[in-house]
Amino acid sequence: MTAVRADRDLATAAGLALGAAADLLLADPRRLHPVAGFGTAAAALERRAHRDSRAAGAGYAAVLVGAAGALGAGLDRATRRRPVARALGTAAVTWSVLGGTSLGRAARTVHLPLVEGDLATARERLPSLVGRDPAGLDAGELARATVESVAENTSDAAVAPLFWGAVAGLPGLTAYRAVNTLDAMVGHRSPRYARFGWASARADDVANWVPARLTAALTVAVAPLTGASAGGALRIWLRDGAAHPSPNSGRCEASLAGALGLRLGGRNVYGSRVEVRPTMGDGRPPVAGDIPRAVRLSRAVWTTAAALAVLGRLARPRS
């Protein structure tokens, strides 16, 4: 039994490594993306299930996350004694749920027009990264929104799925991506989702609690590899991370702000809703040239997380 479990863990570790490498080299699958398919199904169910009710929203989230987790568990059972199939299946799922490279590419699509002074194009492209209203944002605010999104989504899109893949294998990968996708779809504060999306938002907070702090810690650890400041990252994380209204995003944004010597936070507009976020960091406001710096740091963080996920799976106790 111990040997079988060791083979499973080795195959899962290999799959995590292959999936992370695929994301690094290829970014997200271009066609037939499973997460997009899940989103389509979730939207269809929401049209039938929506009520202005926390209970209805909790049931909606439970059904969809449960289905995604069950799919992962089914794949896990089907490959229990088939190491090669398990490795390839884990690689395919990991590649599908990871978004580290696509995050960097999306940030660069905003960076390029900003450098050229084409604010209209930069505003058009910003919604691929953040939910805030880009209308009227100047170059500095567009750069801030992009850098903040890179910081937050380094955890949400890359470190968190790798963490849950290391902890729970295939079911962890599929269930986490379902939780995070539902948060993006219905977890935001709006009249339609204030109650219905409450459970999805809270589930995402719970699922990202450890990964967000791991992301901040890795930002400190790898900052010198990208020319950033480990001391600044640690200091601002500990000082400002808890000031953010999100229990998780602030840790990621504060550590990146400290590492890059920036000041994040400020006024954000989400449709008809305005939020004034607390300041994080002591540096200057971001400019367009800070976007590639944030992307480099993000890549260093999540690729290190991938290595740790593989090692963590290999180091699991066998008894």
pLDDT in tens, the chain (319 residues): 466 677 889 999 999 999 999 999 998 877 778 898 999 999 999 999 999 999 999 999 999 999 999 999 999 999 998 999 999 999 999 999 999 999 999 999 999 999 999 999 999 999 999 888 898 899 999 999 999 999 999 999 999 999 999 999 999 999 999 999 999 999 987 889 999 999 999 999 999 999 999 999 999 999 999 999 999 999 999 999 999 999 999 999 999 999 999 999 988 887 777 888 899 999 999 999 999 999 999 999 999 999 999 999 998 876 5
Q: In terms of C-beta density within 10 A (0-12 exposed, 13-18 middle, 19 or more buried), how is residue 290 classed? A: buried
Structure tokens given for 11: 């195959």
First vs last C-alpha separation in the chain? 9
Residue 190 has a pLDDT of 84
Residue 242 has a pLDDT of 95
Helix crossing, 100-115 with 139-154: angle to 10°? 170
Contact at 8 Å (CB) between 309 and 165? yes
Residue 5 has a pLDDT of 73
Which residue, among 258, 256, 254, has the nearest Cα to 283 in the 3D structure?
A: 258
Residue 319 falls inside a structural domain: no
Measured between alpha carbons, how far is 234 from 223 in angstroms, rounded to an integer?
10
Which residue, among 216, 185, 213, has the nearest Cα to 201 in the 3D structure?
A: 185
Q: Range of 78's domain?
A: 2-314
Residue 150 falls inside a structural domain: yes
CA dihedral 283→288→289→295, nearest 10 degrees, is 90
* Cα–Cα separations (whole angstroms), residue 250 to 100, 254, 306: 19, 6, 22
Which residue, among 303, 294, 314, 309, has the nearest Cα to 25 in the 3D structure?
A: 303
Q: How many residues does the chain have?
A: 319
Name the pTM for this structure: 0.95
Residue 259 falls inside a structural domain: yes
Contact at 8 Å (CB) between 226 and 236? no
Domains contained in the chain, number? 1
Looking at this protein, which amino acid is placed at residue 285?
A: P
